[in-house]
């Protein structure tokens, strides 16, 4: 019994020492932020910014015309507006109406996994601010989205046949389907890496 106590004691000392080194290195803000990001993403799937889609009905029905946006890209009240029966029949100019059963399943999945409920810090950024006054809410109208994309010239988006619209996240974000949006995996078609 004694040796294990001694061992535990020296382990604790070693950990304390490591902690002190960590603090010393963490002095610089940038470094600290990176360490924090690594930790909050967890070790199972490093690099995820938002939780990947995990509902087959949603993936199929809402991924038919564009990528199935991760629920963590919009707050719950925005998803609720989008999933209202009337809104689905006039869905950004398209008819995306669903049977009552499917609609209910998908609305439930979106509500339970909306941005403000996610453990991912990137999702929290999407939950802040107005996602579009009057019209149907958009991910691309959120304050966070606009802040991250305002420097990209229209000729690379609307004027780019391989992109067409900011709504096509996966045209530029190579990891979009897995919920990876960080700047290291952005390639704008016809432009290449984005260095700002």
Q: Which x/- pattern, by CB under 6 A, does the window 86-125 give for ligand HEC? A: -----xxxx-x---------x---------------x---
Single out the residue of 115, 93, 88 nearest to residue 104, CA to CA.
88
> What is the rounded distance in angstroms from the CA atom of residue 167 to the CA atom of residue 66?
8
Closer by beta carbon to ligand HEC, 22 or else 46? 46
Which residue in the set 5, 21, 56, 64 belongs to the binding site for ligand HEC (CB under 6 A)?
64
Check residue 168 for interaction with ligand HEC (CB under 6 A): yes
Q: Closest distance between ligand HEC and the C-beta of residue 28, in Å?
A: 19
Handedness of CA 113, 118, 121, 124 (dihedral sign): positive
Residues 88/80, Cβ–Cβ less than 8 Å: no
Question: Using CB under 6 A, which residues numbered 69 to 88 contact ligand HEC?
Answer: 69, 73, 82
What does DSSP say about strands 192-193 and 187-188: parallel, antiparallel, or unpaired?
antiparallel
**Dihedral of CA 124/37/166/148: which sign?**
positive
- Using CB under 6 A, list all residues that contact ligand HEC: 49, 61-62, 64-66, 69, 73, 82, 91-94, 96, 106, 122, 138-140, 148-149, 152, 156-157, 163, 165-169, 171-173, 181-183, 186, 188, 194, 196
């Amino acid at each position: 019994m004694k040796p294990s106590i001694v061992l535990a004691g020296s382990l604790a000392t070693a950990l304390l020492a490591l902690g002190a080194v960590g603090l010393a290195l963490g002095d610089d803000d940038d470094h600290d932020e990176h360490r924090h990001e690594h930790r909050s993403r967890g070790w199972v799937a490093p690099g995820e910014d938002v939780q990947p889609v995990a509902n087959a009905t949603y993936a199929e029905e809402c991924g038919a015309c564009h990528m199935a946006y991760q629920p963590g890209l919009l707050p719950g009240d925005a998803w609720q507006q989008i999933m209202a029966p009337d809104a689905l029949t006039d869905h950004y100019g398209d008819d995306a109406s669903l049977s009552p059963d499917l609609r209910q399943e998908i609305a439930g999945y979106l509500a339970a996994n909306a941005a403000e409920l996610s453990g991912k810090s990137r999702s929290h950024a999407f939950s802040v601010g107005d996602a579009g006054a009057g019209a149907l809410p958009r991910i691309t109208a959120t304050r966070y989205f606009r802040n991250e994309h305002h420097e990209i010239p229209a000729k690379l988006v609307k004027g780019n046949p391989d992109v067409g619209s900011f709504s096509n996240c996966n045209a530029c974000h190579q990891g979009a389907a897995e919920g990876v949006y960080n700047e290291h995996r952005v390639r704008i078609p016809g432009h290449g890496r984005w260095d700002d």
